[in-house]
Amino acid sequence: MSTALLIDAGNTNTKLCIADETGLKSSYTLPTRPRNTADDWGFKLIEILRREALNPEDVEMCAVSSVVPPLDPLLSEMSKRFLNVRARFVPRDLPLAIENRYARPEQVGADVLVTALAARRLREERCIIVVDYGTATTLACIVDDAFMGGLICPGVLSSMRSLHEGTAKLPAVELEVASDELSWGRTTSECLNQGLVFGFAEMTSGLCRKLGKQMDDTPYVMATGGLAPGIARVCSEIREVRPDLLMEGLWMACFE
C-alpha cells in the first residue's frame, strides 16, 4: 500500500498529513517559518513518522500545495534528503484536473486550485463556491470543471490580530460565540467575538449571494479552514463544512 506525505504550506501554518490509498490519516500543524532550514523540517518530519510507526522509506510520495515561495526549496530538500523522494508541487509538477480560467493563471494560489478540485469531485452541483477561512478569506467560484475566479478578503485571525496589536485596550479573543443569535456584547471580549464571527458570516452571505447572480444556477457553498465550523453555524449561505478540503484535494491528485 502506497504511503504519501501531503503538505499544505500556508502563510501562517504548514500542515503535514500522512495518507494512503484508503484516504487521509493523521495530520500535524507546524508554524510556517521560511527561515528554518531543510534539516529543521526534516527532523520534525522524522518525529512525526516515528509517532505514526513509520520509517522514512515507507513514504513513496510527497505532494505539496504551497503559497510560500521561500519555503518551496526547503521542502524539496527535506523530501530529497530525509525521504529520498522528489517533492511534487501542485499544479507545476502534479497537474490538477480542473480548468483554470483566471486571466493570469500563474497568479492563482495552489491552495485555491486544490480546494476547487476537491469541491468539484465531492459535489455534483454545477455551480460551487468554496469559502476558505485562512490567513486571508478567499471565495473560489467553480462552474462545471473550471475555476472561474473569485474574491480575496481579509482573514478572520489577521483582522483580530490587527485590532489587538493596533489598539491599546482590545484583547485577543478565542473567536467563540455562545449562541447562534446575534446580541450586543456586554464585555469587550463578547463585542469582539460577536463582531468578528457574525461580521464575517454576514460578509460571506452577502458576497455569495452577489457572486451567485453571475452563475447560471444557485451555487452550493462549501466552507473550509479551521474557523469554518464556527462561522458556518451563523451563516445561512454555507451548506457544508469540510475543514480538510485542501488535504482531500491533494489526496485526490495523488491517488485518483
For the chain, the first-to-last Cα distance in angstroms comes to: 14
Whether residues 83 and 112 fall in one domain: no
**What is the average pLDDT value for the chain, to the nearest integer?**
93
Whether residues 85 and 158 fall in one domain: no
Secondary structure element (H or E) that encloses residue 163, with its range: helix 156-166
Last residue of a domain, one of 89, 111, 144: 89
Residue 231 in any domain: the answer is yes
Q: What CATH number is given to the structural domain containing 239?
A: 3.30.420.40
pLDDT at 254: 94
Domain containing 205: what range? 99-250
- Asked if the model's pLDDT at residue 218 lies above 80, the reply is yes
Residue 15 in any domain: the answer is yes
Residue 168 in any domain: the answer is yes
Whether residues 55 and 160 fall in one domain: no
HSE-up of residue 140 (Cα within 13 Å, Cβ side): 33
Q: Copy the grid coordinates of residue 243.
A: 475543514
* Tens digit of each residue's pLDDT (9 = 90 or more) over 139-184: 999 999 999 999 999 998 888 888 878 887 767 777 777 778 888 8
Which of helix, strand or coil describes residue 246?
helix
Q: How far apart are CA 91 and CA 255, in angstroms?
A: 15
Whether residues 47 and 140 fall in one domain: no
- Asked if the model's pLDDT at residue 247 lies above 90, the reply is yes
Whether residues 239 and 208 fall in one domain: yes
- Does this model's pTM top 0.95? My answer is no
pLDDT at 133: 95
- 111 an active-site residue? yes
Q: Copy the grid coordinates of residue 39.
A: 534539516
Q: How far apart are CA 119 and CA 211, in angstroms?
A: 17
- Asked if the model's pLDDT at residue 256 lies above 90, the reply is no
* Tens digit of each residue's pLDDT (9 = 90 or more) over 53-108: 999 999 999 999 999 999 999 999 999 999 999 999 999 999 999 999 999 999 99
Q: How far apart are CA 125 and CA 144, in angstroms?
A: 8
> Of 8, 39, 72, 111, which residue is the catalytic one?
111
